[in-house]
């Protein structure tokens, strides 16, 4: 049997080029080799207040983008997290099995606390419980592999810890301990305006990121105005040339070549020529993606999601029943 992979993305804003290269592209590349489960993490999105109409629209947008990127429903089980109740059921088990110190050490939680204190905003408890829900998302399906970006590595380590803890409590291997999968390149795409920090859809400066559904001309302009340096040599050097290194990573990832090959290709190019070539590659990619996205109709999308929900729910329901039985929960 094929090994299984599981992963998901929050519908909390416009999906960026960084989300695609760092995460979603891996889903597409791995679906031929693995039994693939990919979901829309809508429950994670509500750790901060959401407009219900916008959240539902973004959920559908994300599904359509998954399909436009190349996820094949015949190879990948595609579903919405909230439509499989076992995610929340197992999340409670892991909430009770995790320690406050573990949750408070999570970088995402600490960053949120810091930002909210600066803005004098309340800190919702959902952000503290995010990791147990993520652990449930993964461990319900017993995957051997979990594709993650750099920012989720800490959460996956906690997932492994919780799985081992429950296995120890029950004296049985209830959960498979998953391994991390990271792409050889592109795991972390950086801001176009501040290339020492990650590209983010929540950035206050819209020039810093490329949303996958941005107008093509806008995206091209953002690439051409990306921050670089004054050396005028196209060379991969993250420490000294973060802007150029980031553009090389984007180019190589979209062209499916090694960064070293991309660097060699542009070794005699000016920065203007280099940026024009990167912008053209981004333009070609986004044009094809957006054409496929707009060609999808809601009947097709809903049929795919119905099939995915049924398959995911069958596996997840069986798993949570097994976990409850081993923990002594319910009547058996």
Q: Show Cβ contacts of residue 100 under 8 Å, excluding neighbours closer than 6 positions.
A: none
Q: Show Cβ contacts of residue 43 under 8 Å, excluding neighbours closer than 6 positions.
A: 81, 82, 87, 88, 133
How far is the C-alpha of 40 from the C-alpha of 187, rounded, in Å? 20
User: Catalytic annotation on 264?
Assistant: no
Catalytic residue among 10, 25, 64, 198: 198
How far is the C-alpha of 127 from the C-alpha of 157, rounded, in Å? 17
The residue with tokens 């408070």 is 104
User: Catalytic annotation on 10?
Assistant: no
User: Catalytic annotation on 198?
Assistant: yes
Dihedral (CA of 321, 327, 331, 332) sign: positive
The residue with tokens 């803005």 is 119
Helices (H), the chain: 17-19, 25-30, 42-45, 52-69, 86-97, 100-104, 107-118, 130-139, 153-170, 216-224, 242-255, 259-265, 271-295, 298-327
> What is the 8-class DSSP label of residue 191?
P
In terms of residues, how long is the chain? 332
How far is the C-alpha of 155 from the C-alpha of 148, rounded, in Å? 10
Catalytic residue among 10, 25, 201, 241: 201
What does each C-alpha distance from 239 to 24, 151, 229 come to in angstroms?
A: 26, 19, 12
Catalytic residue among 2, 110, 115, 197: 115
DSSP 242-270: HHHHHHHHHHHHHHT--HHHHHHHTTT--
The two structure tokens encoding residue 185: 């390149």
**Alpha carbon 257 to chain centroid, angstroms:** 22
Which residues are catalytic, by number? 115, 198, 201
């Amino acid at each position: 049997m094929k090994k299984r992979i599981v992963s998901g993305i929050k519908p909390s804003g416009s999906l960026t080029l960084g989300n695609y290269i760092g995460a979603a592209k891996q889903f597409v590349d791995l679906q031929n080799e693995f039994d693939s489960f990919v979901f829309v993490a809508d429950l994670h999105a509500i750790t901060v207040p959401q407009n219900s109409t916008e959240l539902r629209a973004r959920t559908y947008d994300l599904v359509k983008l998954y399909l436009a990127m190349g996820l094949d429903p015949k190879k990948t089980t595609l579903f919405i997290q909230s439509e499989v109740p076992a995610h929340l059921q197992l999340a409670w088990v892991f909430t009770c099995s995790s320690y406050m110190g573990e949750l408070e050490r999570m970088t995402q939680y600490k960053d949120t606390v810091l930002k909210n204190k600066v803005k004098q905003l309340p800190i919702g408890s959902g952000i503290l419980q995010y990791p147990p829900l993520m652990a449930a998302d993964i461990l319900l399906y017993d995957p051997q592999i979990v594709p993650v970006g750099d920012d989720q590595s800490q959460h996956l380590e906690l997932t492994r810890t919780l799985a081992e803890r429950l296995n120890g409590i029950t004296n049985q291997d209830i959960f498979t301990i998953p391994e991390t999968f990271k792409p050889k390149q592109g795991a972390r795409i950086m801001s176009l305006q501040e290339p020492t920090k990650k590209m983010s859809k929540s950035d206050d400066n819209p020039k810093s990121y490329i949303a996958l559904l941005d107008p093509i001309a806008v995206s091209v302009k953002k690439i051409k105005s990306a921050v670089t340096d004054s050396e005028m040599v196209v060379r991969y050097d993250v420490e000294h040339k973060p802007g150029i290194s980031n553009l090389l990573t984007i180019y190589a990832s979209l062209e499916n070549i090694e960064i070293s090959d991309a660097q060699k290709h542009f070794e005699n190019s000016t920065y203007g020529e280099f940026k024009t070539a990167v912008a053209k590659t981004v333009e070609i990619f986004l044009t094809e993606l957006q054409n496929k996205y707009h060609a999808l109709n809601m009947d097709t999308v809903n049929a795919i999601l119905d099939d995915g929900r049924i398959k995911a729910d069958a596996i997840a329901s069986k798993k949570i029943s097994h976990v409850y039985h081993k923990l002594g929960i319910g009547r058996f």
